[in-house]
């Protein structure tokens, strides 16, 4: 993408964690970027560094409503959606709407503008996987009426709608299935394990582990995800592609690393009877497709990425905007 002609790009969810990092990357490459967000979970401060940039525009809009955008577009990246369990359980109907109506509106815009379209999907389409690691061909094991179904099924529907637009209208589409990603600009209170642990560690508290800690995750740093997205946009491939780390770690070991890196004396606290409903026991991608198709694999080690993330949260916790922030 860096070597291509400068593009005009719309990013829904552009003020979110991933969306704002995409804005950074595209603007650094000289492209024009329109970030669209309704700020349910996104934050304007994630984009404040671009407010004086003449190639950047921020539009407050709910993409579940019809999207109007003047002028041509080369790319439409649909990254709008609550993504943490706390957020999508707090906003279940909005999550379903942005995955269905929002995807429909974003696809319609891309079709009208003859733009390439990318859908941000998720590892949650695999549900509680019976295949490990998860390949793109695995159809998943999802409970459509469970609490997490509002997010899982919204993304599964979004993938189906994206493929329908490709097959029926010939729209140039991409689907990226994003696995656990962390880094600066995650919200301290978004309820996911990385900000939860780091926030507790920086307050010298015991790290709370729900369940027995044997559940596994594979954490990729935000820079690796952004690179994978950029490479996927540049190739001609319409089926889903997993982007994530293959370094699988159990939650107890991960907590120990966070305590070590923060010199936290608080230790660990297990709440064995409070594991979240539907929380998968294992999560690790098979990224063979990304390696072959994109020549992509993660390059940022866990310790390196965590140190960058810890420094970010330490700065935020010391600022007035995060004073008194608590975890849920």
pLDDT digits (tens, 9 = 90+) for 259-308: 999 999 999 999 987 666 667 788 899 999 999 999 999 999 999 999 99
pLDDT at 323: 44
Q: Where are the chain's structural domains?
A: 8-181+219-243, 187-217+247-283+301-322
Based on the residue annotation, tell me whether 151 is a catalytic residue of this protein. Answer: yes
- Class of CATH domain 8-181+219-243: alpha beta
pLDDT digits (tens, 9 = 90+) for 104-119: 999 999 999 999 999 9
Cis peptide before 133 (omega within 30 of 0): yes
Q: Find the helix or strand (DSSP H, E) in which 226 lies.
A: helix 222-233
R_g (Cα) of the chain, nearest Å: 19
Domain 187-217+247-283+301-322 fold is UDP-galactose 4-epimerase; domain 1 (3.90.25)
Other residues' Cβ atoms within 10 Å of the Cβ of residue 22? 25
Q: What is the dihedral of CA 104, 95, 228, 5, to 10 degrees?
A: 40
Q: Which residue has the higher pLDDT, 171 or 131?
A: 171
pLDDT at 273: 77
Cα-based angle 201, 204, 208 (whole degrees, multiple of 5): 55
pTM of full prediction above 0.85: yes
CA-to-CA distance for 20 and 11, rounded, in angstroms?
9
Lowest mean pLDDT segment, chosen from 33-47, 61-75, 129-143, 276-290: 276-290
Identified catalytic residue from 88, 151, 165, 182: 151
pLDDT at 325: 41
């Amino acid at each position: 993408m860096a070597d291509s002609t400068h593009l005009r790009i719309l990013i829904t969810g552009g003020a979110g964690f991933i969306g704002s990092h995409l804005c950074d990357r595209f603007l650094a490459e000289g492209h024009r970027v329109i970030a669209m967000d309704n700020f349910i979970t996104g934050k304007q401060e994630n984009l404040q560094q671009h407010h004086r940039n003449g190639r950047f525009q921020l539009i407050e809009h709910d993409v579940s409503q019809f999207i109007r955008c003047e002028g041509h577009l080369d790319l439409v990246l649909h990254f709008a959606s609550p993504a943490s369990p706390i957020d999508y359980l707090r906003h279940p109907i909005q999550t379903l709407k942005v995955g269905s109506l929002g995807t429909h509106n974003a696809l319609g815009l891309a079709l009208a503008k003859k733009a390439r379209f990318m859908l941000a999907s998720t590892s949650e389409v695999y549900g509680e996987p019976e295949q490990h690691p998860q390949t793109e061909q695995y159809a998943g094991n999802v409970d459509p009426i469970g609490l997490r179904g509002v997010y899982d099924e919204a993304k599964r529907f979004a993938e189906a709608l994206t493929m329908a637009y490709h097959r029926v209208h010939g729209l140039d589409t991409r689907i990226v299935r994003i696995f656990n990603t962390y880094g600066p600009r995650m919200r301290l209170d978004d309820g996911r394990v990385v900000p939860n642990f780091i926030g507790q560690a920086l307050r010298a508290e015991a790290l709370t582990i729900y369940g027995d800690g044997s559940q596994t995750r594979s954490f990729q740093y935000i820079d690796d995800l952004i690179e994978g997205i950029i490479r996927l946009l540049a190739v001609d491939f319409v089926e889903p592609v997993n982007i994530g780390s293959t370094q699988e770690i159990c939650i107890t070991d991960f907590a120990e690393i966070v305590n070590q890196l923060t010199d936290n004396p608080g230790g660990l606290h297990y709440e064995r009877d409070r594991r979240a409903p539907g929380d998968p026991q294992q999560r690790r991608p098979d990224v063979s497709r990304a390696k072959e198709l994109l020549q992509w694999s993660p390059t940022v080690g866990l310790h390196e990425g965590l140190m960058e993330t810890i420094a970010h949260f330490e700065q935020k916790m010391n600022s007035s905007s995060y004073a008194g922030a608590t975890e849920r």
